[in-house]
Amino acid sequence: MNLLERVVAIGRRRSPWVCRLNAGSCNGCDIEITPLLSPRYDAEQVGVQLHGTPKHADIVLISGTLTLRSRRAILDLYAQVPAPKAVVALGSCPASGNVFADSPLVLGESLDTVVPVDVWVPGCPPRPQAILDGILRAARLLEEGATRSQQGESVS
């Protein structure tokens, strides 16, 4: 790794830009993301910034269960995030569908069958400090070059 690549890796770890996608959740996880920007958790103190566009993101936060309509949106958003990138799945819905699993609109698949998930943040909903920890773990994986997208794993 040359000097420029090392500087970029350090910058990614210290200032991860995050784009979030609600793939059909009850909004419980999304409500827990909001306190990250408040003085209590102050995610910006460690460099985390939420961005509305995937084209400027390093990390994608995905909450909610995998539905028929959200599958295409997830794939489109993931494709727009420049490499290297990391995916953080929030809550139990991306893994199992949780209480929505038997709905006819839910695919019944785990999120990692659609995009490679690097960090799972458990809970229903996960606490803000757990979400922040998941983001920082994903940033560390980006710095180390250890995300699933960097290792050439592709799903879908």
Q: Is residue 154 part of a domain?
A: no
Q: Is residue 71 part of a domain?
A: yes
Residue 31 CB contacts under 8 Å (≥ 6 apart), including other chains: 125
Output the domain CATH number for residue 84.
3.40.50.12280
Q: Is residue 49 part of a domain?
A: yes
Q: Is residue 36 part of a domain?
A: yes
One digit per residue, the tens of pLDDT, for the chain of length 156 reads 688 777 776 666 678 899 999 988 888 888 999 898 888 988 888 888 888 889 989 999 999 888 888 899 999 999 999 988 999 999 988 988 787 777 777 787 889 999 999 999 999 999 999 999 999 999 989 888 878 876 666 555
Q: Is residue 42 part of a domain?
A: yes
Does the reported pTM lie above 0.85?
yes
Check residue 153 and give its pLDDT.
63
Total domains present in the chain:
1
Check residue 41 and give its pLDDT.
86
Here the contacts of 127-131 (C-beta below 8 Å, separation 24 or greater) are: 127/32, 128/32, 128/33, 128/35, 128/36, 128/40, 128/41, 129/41, 131/29, 131/32, 131/33, 131/36, 131/61, 131/88, 131/90
Check residue 1 and give its pLDDT.
64
Q: Is residue 152 part of a domain?
A: no
Q: Is residue 89 part of a domain?
A: yes
Q: Is residue 64 part of a domain?
A: yes
Check residue 129 and give its pLDDT.
94
| Strand residue runs (E) in 23-132 | 49-50, 59-63, 86-90, 119-121
What residue numbers bound the domain in which 35 lies?
3-144
